[in-house]
Structure 1
């Protein structure tokens, strides 16, 4: 069945059962269809993977008889998830540190660009060069900062999506062990709206072109000013 047929059957089944949070449940399945279809699956494939919508609706009936669950099952499920949490937590920590590091690179690059163009060489941290070269490299550094900043935005959004996805996985594992309602999985890949995606993509392209042109131009101007291809030696940058 397609998405509309699946959702209609699910909605009718939830209505017949008098589920109070029906809209929230339907939104969860609507979102699941969207992210699976964005991943290349057809509506029919998603419906088949989810199963019978009538049976799925039954698990949300609070008055439904609850099958007695052995405490041992819940204990071992919780124990296994606890060990998994430690491993996944380390991965999340590395990803978070990576995003913070990229943010620091973006800030540093933008700061260096501003200092170059304003002739502010605090504590002589920046190499000495003619102002023409400084302007070209400054534009390139600011463009690079924008590129890295967009990467940080993508990284943060993906990190947030992974947290939501893992939280749903964790909750569903415990729900299965307790014979409780299981919600559809959340997407693990980044989901960005079409308008925002186009804006970010356009900004990346423009920033990349400016970065390349500015640095190539900066190299050419510097080589002409120093009358040497390895102008950094002439200006004694590394001495």
Structure 2
């Protein structure tokens, strides 16, 4: 545990430089310096104040995770949500189960839906072309018993593929929003648990 205010602030600065914008970092460090000033004025030691704040490494991880989740909420991108998830994983071992597992599950689910959509959207037109060739009497690979029914079925397959691709897009947006809320809740739970202990 850090023994002095100066060491505590130095560790916070080192851990958060390059993560937070300079102005936000200076505001945060100023808040912690003020906390030390008020605590010392009321007769508390620097060691006691450091202990009550928690380790600067833990504080830096929480601040980083909170900042990256807010950034992901403000500017939606795969990169931002990925960084937010990784930062949240650093807050506690149980997050490997409660953050990483759902994140991987959702990414795989969205990828499967999207890839199925692409497969159907590609297979449908190819099947339609073969059906059309059969209808025109041109020798081709016979996919369907009835070429006319096959043509209509191919249109249905293509439409279904396009619907899956669109659904994957809207599900990704929905899960992104839900993921941000979940990460925010998760950080709140961890902070609450640390406040209790």
TM-score, structure 2 normalization = 0.42
Instruction: Considering Cα pairs closer than 8 Å and 6+ residues apart, tell me whether 1 or 2 has the greater RCO.
Output: 1
TM-score, structure 1 normalization = 0.36
